[in-house]
Structure 1
Amino acid sequence: MTATTDESAFAAENAFGKGEPNIAYAQYFTGDSFLNNLVTDPECVVGVHNVTFAPGCRNNWHVHHATSGGGQVLICTAGSGWYQEEGKDAVSLTPGVVVFTRAGVKHWHGAKADSWFSHIALGVPGENTSNEWLEPVDDAHYAAL
């Protein structure tokens, strides 16, 4: 799929569904995001969520902490987005791209300005896991990508 701001065209490609407005985490996002929990069985120890970002939406810088294990896997499924670790160049995300973020790495991810974007987020099990939400991605920094 090519980058598109056309929500109907994007919805046809978004195999895991847009989900509901991501109200619980809205304070950690710039723009509109949506969450579709893909596994609701309480026996599952891995969080599996389809996160959809409206064009220009991105989450704040954040860190997945763990004393061992932990981190996050992103599987890009539709649209076009960005992933960036602190101190590194941003990586273009398109369907089929998989990213593993190790515990303790400051990063952000979200849609490109001209595209809807979805990824499946998998929380990697570990010991003493937690998320630390940090500052928003600066508008000038984002616009320069």
Structure 2
Amino acid sequence: MIRVRPAEQAGTAGKPGSRFTGDAFAYLTLPATDGVTINTVTFAPAARTHWHSHERGQILQVLSGRGLIQTRGEEPLVLRQGDTVWIPPGETHWHGAAPDSSLTHTAISLGVTDWLEPVVDYPGAAQAEETSS
């Protein structure tokens, strides 16, 4: 059993090799343990991850704000407080804040993260905003 107290987490800046565009503040909740890493990340408006995938998948739990997530080749989906997302192993995706809102989520990453290129823009974000309610 491993217990991590808040005082032991203070000042931790997220897992090595993470890639973001814009201002994102990662708080390492649980360092890599048996291939599981848990981060709580706050994204400023329009901040986002680079394209990436996870060896054994990822779970996102949206704590506050509004954001976007997109699988490569698909339209982005709007994320809102209370949403939980499962990203299957090997699925290339990005996630982050909407252009006009911050976003805080807890990310549970399983296995190695393969970081790829930055997301140049928000492909299809306007459509995602218009079709969500």
TM-score, with structure 1 as normaliser:
0.69
Counterpart of 2:19 in structure 1: which amino acid?
A: Y
In the alignment, which residue of structure 1 is the partner of 2:3?
Answer: none
Superposition pairs for residues 94-113 of structure 1, below 5 Å? 94-113=80-99
Closer/same/farther in 2, CA of residues 57 and 98 from structure 1, 3 Å limit: same
Q: CA deviation at 1:39?
A: 3.2
Instruction: Report the equivalent of 1:35.
Output: 26
- Report which of the two has the higher share of strand: 2
Q: Is the 8 A contact 2:76 2:123 kept in 1?
A: no
Structure-to-structure mapping, 1:1-145, within 5 angstroms: 22=13, 28-39=19-30, 46-65=36-55, 70-124=56-110, 129-139=111-121, 141=123, 144=126
**SS of the residue 2:36 aligns to:** coil
DSSP 3-state at the match of 2:123: helix
TM-score (norm 2): 0.75
Q: Return closer, same or farther for 1:98/1:140 CA change in 2, 3 Å cut-off.
A: closer
Contact 1:21 1:34 in 2 (8 A): no
Over residues 66-116 of structure 1, what are the superposed CA-to-partner deviations in whole Å (9 max), with x where a residue is unaligned?
A: xxxx11100000010001111112111011101011111000000001011
CA 1:30–1:38: 2 relative to 1, 3 Å: same
Mapped partners of 2:90, 2:120: distance in 1: 21
| Contact 1:76-1:94 within 8 A present in 2 as well | yes
Number of equivalenced pairs: 118
Counting aligned pairs with the same residue, the percent is 36
- Provide the secondary structure at the position in 1 that maps to 2:99: coil
2:41/2:105 contact within 8 Å kept:
yes
Alignment gaps of 5+ in structure 2: 1-9, 128-133
Displacement of 1:140 after TM fit?
5.8
Encode CA deviations 1:27-75: one digit per residue, 9 max, x unaligned.
72110110112235x867632211110111011111112xxxx111000
Which blocks of at least 5 consecutive residues in structure 1 are unaligned? 1-18
